[in-house]
Structure 1
Amino acid sequence: MRLLLENGHSNLTIRAVAQAAGVAETTVYRRWPSVGHLIAAALLRLTATDNPIPDTGSVEDDLATLLSQIVALLTRPDVMRVVRSAAAIDDGGAFAATRAAFFDARFTASAAIVERAVARGQLPAGTDSHRLIETLVAPAYMRALLGSRGFDDDFVDSSVAATLHGFDGRTGPPRP
């Protein structure tokens, strides 16, 4: 992760990671068959460490905590360098699968927020957890990647409110 954050995706090699870890390249290749797999694993570890799935007892607080953690990561220049390069990689599909696996893992972990909220009666049964979390976090990634707007003090609260409004008994987000 340190090498990735310091040097970005384009300068990351299995050889550099093996040297930094003090192991043979084959040791790294046995666990991560490509740089893309290595990046996905590093990002999953970063998010697990810096962005654990909250369990506050309140869907509003859980979503606000989750989004606040994501915004905190997306405001770090080193993380954004990695996110921007990962978003831009077009290698014929190999890294796209790795990127998809990363987001699938995060959506699966985040689904616990929705499942607990449904069990507590805070969200209706049948709420699509993937879609709810996607609705919540998409504006943060859009702002971070496009750089057109920063994150103001109201961003998290208004994003949580808009997301929950869209899932107040329907199975999807509000229609324009």
Structure 2
Amino acid sequence: MAGEVRRRPGGRSARVRQAVLDATVEVLLARGLADFRIAPVAALAGVHETSIYRRWGTREGLLGDALLHSAEHELRVPDTGRLREDLVTYAVRLAAYLATPVGRALDQVLVLGDDRPAMAEARARFWSERAAGSMAMITRAVERGELPATVDPRLAVEMLVGPVHFRLLLTRDPVDPALAARLVDAILRGIAMTSEVMDPVTRSS
């Protein structure tokens, strides 16, 4: 038993964190961003409000962590071994996730949240950590020789996810696999054209 306990340090802490994050999403879905408060989260998770403030600092920090945790589990970055398949799969998964109640809540927090420091920090952390994961699709493609080393991984990812967010958040138009493939092909053609333009400069330098 002692050995088992040693293999599971922090088990209760992890369970409490999961309970709070789950409660955060549930309260956000029930109340919306404008009426989101820490107190009902604490009550639902069975913890003290002070414990939440001590760990997350602000409601924005808690929201950012909860939504990032949800996205990490529900929106995994594919690794098919081919860039085009990775990008199409990711675009389809992103569209499906953003169409769920949690995905819509995510966009609401990121887009409708104010620009006070706490919210700005939570938003920046979310995008930074999500970008770090999704950029792996681009860096792997560069390593395989599918893309030139001059490609900006973050810009390439933003070119993919931007239209998906735009359609689902603003125009309310669907993003099906066929549209995702067209979008990816347009991005890859643009990257190829940019590479062709840059090659003569690179060779002459």
In structure 2, what residue type is equivalent to 1:31? Answer: R
- Paired position in structure 2 for 1:45: 69
SS at match of 2:76: coil
SS at match of 2:34: helix
Q: How many residues align?
A: 171
- Paired position in structure 1 for 2:42: 18
Aligned residue among 100, 103, 106 for 1:79: 103
Counterparts of 1:53 and 1:91, CA distance in 2: 29
Query: 1:5–1:81: 8 Å Cα contact kept in structure 2?
Result: yes
- Paired position in structure 2 for 1:99: 123
State the TM-score, normalizing by the size of structure 1: 0.88
Q: Deviations over 1:110-147 (max 9, x none)?
A: 11111111111111113111000000010011112212
How far off is 1:34 after superposition? Answer: 0.9
Runs of 4+ in structure 1 displaced over 4 angstroms? none
Higher RCO (CA 8 Å, separation ≥ 6 residues): 1
How far off is 1:69 after superposition? Answer: 1.2
Alignment RMSD (CA, Å): 1.8
**Mind listing any 5+ residue stretches in structure 2 that lack a counterpart?**
1-24, 196-205
- Report the identity percentage: 35
How far off is 1:82 after superposition? Answer: 4.1
In structure 1, what residue type is equivalent to 2:65? Answer: A
As a proportion of its length, which structure holds more helix?
Answer: 2
Q: If you compute each CA radius of gyration, which structure gives the higher value, 1 or 2? A: 2
Counterparts of 2:163 and 2:171, CA distance in 1: 11
How far off is 1:148 after superposition? Answer: 5.0
SS at match of 1:168: helix
- Paired position in structure 2 for 1:130: 154
Q: Deviations over 1:18-57 (max 9, x none)?
A: 1111111111112211111111111111111110111110
State the TM-score, normalizing by the size of structure 2: 0.76
